[in-house]
Each structure stands twice: as structure tokens, then as C-alpha cells.
């Protein structure tokens, strides 16, 4: 698993990086049974003109290719990060459920073909 946390146009914050690692643990646990390579990119980008903080999370695996980002006026990085992580986790769960349902449908379809 290759994980990268980037602070774009701002100084690196060890406290924020530790908080991000703690929050990403949930997604890492979800992806622990996936095939390699697994890439996780988390980008923090503050706005210089407004109080808009943007966080982008990219997950790439052989099975998943997901991007989630969030930007909201007046919200600090911690709230924004929580929202991005929760959104990505929900999207991964939905995708896994959909892929598993597709596998089940293929199996049933093959059984029906044999009965004909």
C-alpha cells in the first residue's frame, strides 16, 4: 500500500498529518484484503483568497478507482477531512456491494442457462 499525504501551497503540519493517518486507518482496513498495488493520495489545499479549504482523496486499486474532494466555506481542515473520509468510505462500500451483486448475478445466470 502506497500512501501519500501532500500539503499543497502550505507548510506541512505534523499534527494534521497524524490526524489524517488516524482517519485513513478506516479506509486502509477496508482495503487490506485488496490486491496490490494500492495507492492512496490525500491532498490538502488551502485557499489564499477565501476561507475555503479543499481536500482531495484519491484511491486506486485494481478493483477501485475513486476520487472524492470537498470544499466548503468557513470549515476547518479537520471537519473537511472527516467529510471526505466518510464520503470515500461510503462510496467504497457501495462499489463493493455492487461488484459482489454482479458476481452473484453471473452465477445465477449460468445456472439458469444450464436448466434450459
- Would you give per-residue pLDDT tens digits along the chain (116 residues)? 889 999 888 788 888 889 999 999 999 999 888 888 899 999 988 776 666 778 899 999 988 888 988 876 666 778 888 889 999 999 999 988 888 877 666 555 556 566 65
- The residues, ordered by sequence, that sit 6+ positions from 69 with a Cβ below 8 Å of its Cβ are 54, 55, 56, 57, 84
- The residues, ordered by sequence, that sit 6+ positions from 47 with a Cβ below 8 Å of its Cβ are 53, 54
Place of cell 485557499: 47
- The pTM for the full model equals 0.77
- The residues, ordered by sequence, that sit 6+ positions from 50 with a Cβ below 8 Å of its Cβ are 73
Contact 5, 20 (CB under 8 A): yes
Domains of the chain, each with CATH number or no CATH: 2-115 (3.30.160.100)
Amino acid at each position: 500500500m502506497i500512501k501519500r499525504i501532500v500539503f499543497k501551497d502550505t507548510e506541512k503540519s505534523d499534527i494534521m498529518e497524524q490526524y489524517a493517518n488516524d482517519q485513513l486507518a478506516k479506509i486502509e482496513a477496508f482495503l487490506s484484503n485488496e490486491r496490490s498495488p494500492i495507492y492512496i493520495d490525500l491532498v490538502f489545499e488551502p485557499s489564499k483568497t477565501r476561507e475555503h479549504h479543499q481536500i482531495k482523496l484519491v484511491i486506486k486499486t485494481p478493483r477501485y478507482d475513486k476520487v472524492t474532494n470537498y470544499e466548503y466555506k468557513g470549515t476547518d481542515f479537520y471537519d473537511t477531512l472527516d467529510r471526505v473520509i466518510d464520503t470515500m468510505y461510503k462510496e467504497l462500500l457501495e462499489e463493493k456491494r455492487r461488484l459482489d451483486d454482479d458476481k452473484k448475478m453471473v452465477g445465477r445466470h449460468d445456472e439458469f442457462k444450464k436448466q434450459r
